[in-house]
Amino acid sequence: MSQNFVRVRFAPSPTGPLHLGGIRTALYNYLFAKKHGGTFILRMEDTDRKRWVSNSELYILETLKWCNIEPDEGVGYGGPYSPYYQSKRINIYRIYINKLLEKGDAYYAFDTDKDLDRKRKEYHDSGGSFSYNYKIRMKLNNSLTMTKKQLHDKLRSGSSYVIRFKIQPGEKLNMYDIIRGNIIVDTDHLDDKILLKSDGVATYHLANTIDDHIMKITHVLRGEEWLPSMSLHILLYKSFGWTPPNFAHLPLILRHNGKGKISKRNANLDFPIFPIQWKVPDTKIIIPGYRELGYFPEAFVNMLALLGWNPGIKREIFSLQELINFFSLEKINKSGVFFDVKKANWFNKKYLNKKKEEIFAFLCEEIKKRSIDKKDKDYLWKIIHLTIDRIHFIHEIWEHSFYFFISPSSYEDHFFHEICNKNAISKLDNAKILLYYADKFTSVNLKLLFTTNKQKIMQLLRLALVGILRGIDIFIILEMLGKEESIRRIEKLINQIKEKI
């Protein structure tokens, strides 16, 4: 097959936001298409109207845009196989289901839910299990057990029915998955799945197969949860007389603590699972996504790409173009992969180092917001260089640098109470004098001054200058604040202690 003809699709059901697994499926499809100069298609699998959620389509489009992996064709982009909504293709599916009926590969089934429940119970009570399959179908209420006339009458009377696929038993179906290799399925174990529901709408299996064929999809890359459906899909292709596409089922993304897979349902885990924020339609609660939490799309995409695929070299930072160049389906993991939010933060940090201008702009905004006297540019750049190692996100810069701009208005409670005594005052007084007489107010000199004086007052100084026991090297803080401001802050703490004792 010529590589130019690669056509892949991302085919989400608009039943809510995408989670990490969903967006990773989209990304792998995108990377594979771009690698082969192919086409990346977005198809909305929206036949299940009961599960349809209003803003999910927009969500999906916005997410793909944010990740910079936009489709070439499909919903929102148009293309030669429009419409790309399955709900608008109902008539197409009807044509094809009729072909299966004519061939005898599908049949009408009139069993009501109640009938089936009763049967299920009967089988269960006698120690067996019920499956609508070749063993049982001839005992049920379907067109296989009726004469033509009976069927005709039943249909004319308006009885409700579904259409089922007639699985031929006794076949060892040989399938190939690019990631998992050969898979053999015994058709005896398959049941006669519903292809057309009683409301006349095609099920996922039928619509998906027909669309993949009509839209000339060459490779189906999708989540592992669809692996059990692969045999049914292959049988459908066979029955239509079509060549199936190539399949690759992607490994599950698992929670790091071994608590199973990530799904839309675990939205309140201790790490984000949605790429961008999701507004829950009923409650209007907003669940932030990676975008809102300050992850860069490039970092997010880079992290996601390596969650289940490895480029075969010892390197972790890749631009989107590099990911495209290196991508191959053969290097995708077979087994589930663990997601670790710490690793996601690590990726963000790597990209943060290339975003200094943005950090600078953010810092300027924070200063402006608080009406702080504008500091000169060099001062701000110094702060950025001094604190960047401590942050993973742009917005964290303020909590790691506020003390360069504002004198503490309160002090870390626990430690403050501990040092509310005369001893602390005298230590602070000494430090003040040392600083006052220091000639060169540089971190190197100040360090020497304090070590030779063997005063163990570092924590006290930190409390005076920062207000909390955090922050960069205390001597650098002193140098940055300068003599006057440093002394002013020490005096402020002394006064506060005096007020308390």
Residues acting as catalytic residues = 264
User: For residue 235, which of 258, 266, 202, 206 has the smallest C-alpha distance?
Assistant: 206
In the complex, the smallest distance separating the C-beta of residue 160 from ligand GLU, rounded to whole angstroms, is: 25
Among 137, 205, 222, 427, binds ligand GLU (CB under 6 A): 222
Backbone angles phi, psi at 323, to 5 degrees: -60, -45
Backbone angles phi, psi at 312, to 5 degrees: 80, 5
Whether the CB-CB separation of 305 and 48 falls below 8 Å is answered with no
Phi-psi region of 446 (alpha: psi -120 to 50; beta: other; left: phi over 0): alpha
Nearer to ligand GLU, 64 or 493 (CB): 64
Nearer to ligand GLU, 22 or 471 (CB): 22
Whole-angstrom distance, CA of residue 445 vs CA of residue 435: 10
Q: Does 24 bind ligand GLU (CB under 6 A)?
A: no
Distances from the Cα of 422 to the Cα of 416, 426, 494, angstroms: 13, 6, 10
Q: What does the DSSP 8-state code read for residue 392?
A: S
In the complex, the smallest distance separating the C-beta of residue 221 from ligand GLU, rounded to whole angstroms, is: 8
Among 56, 208, 387, 401, binds ligand GLU (CB under 6 A): 208
Whole-angstrom distance, CA of residue 75 vs CA of residue 106: 31
In the complex, the smallest distance separating the C-beta of residue 225 from ligand GLU, rounded to whole angstroms, is: 7
Nearer to ligand GLU, 104 or 228 (CB): 228
Whether the CB-CB separation of 96 and 54 falls below 8 Å is answered with no
Binding string, 1-20, against ligand GLU, x = CB under 6 A?
----------xxx-------
Nearer to ligand GLU, 85 or 226 (CB): 226
Binding string, 289-308, against ligand GLU, x = CB under 6 A?
--------------------
User: What is the full DSSP assignment across 176-223?
Assistant: EETTTEEEEEEGGG----EEE-TTSPBPHHHHHHHHHHHTT--EEEEE
Question: Which of helix, strand or coil describes residue 69?
Answer: coil
Total binding residues for ligand GLU by CB under 6 A? Answer: 9
Window 34-93: residues binding ligand GLU (CB under 6 A): 45
Among 52, 123, 176, 226, binds ligand GLU (CB under 6 A): 226
Nearer to ligand GLU, 208 or 486 (CB): 208
The helices-and-strands tally (H runs, E runs) of the chain is 17, 14
Q: From the CB of residue 330, how many other CB atoms can be counted at a distance below 10 Å?
A: 9
Question: Which window, 220-228, 238-246, 280-288, 439-447, contacts ligand GLU (CB under 6 A)?
Answer: 220-228
Binding string, 158-197, against ligand GLU, x = CB under 6 A?
----------------------------------------
Whether the CB-CB separation of 309 and 330 falls below 8 Å is answered with no
Binding site for ligand GLU (CB under 6 A): 11-13, 45, 204, 208, 220, 222, 226
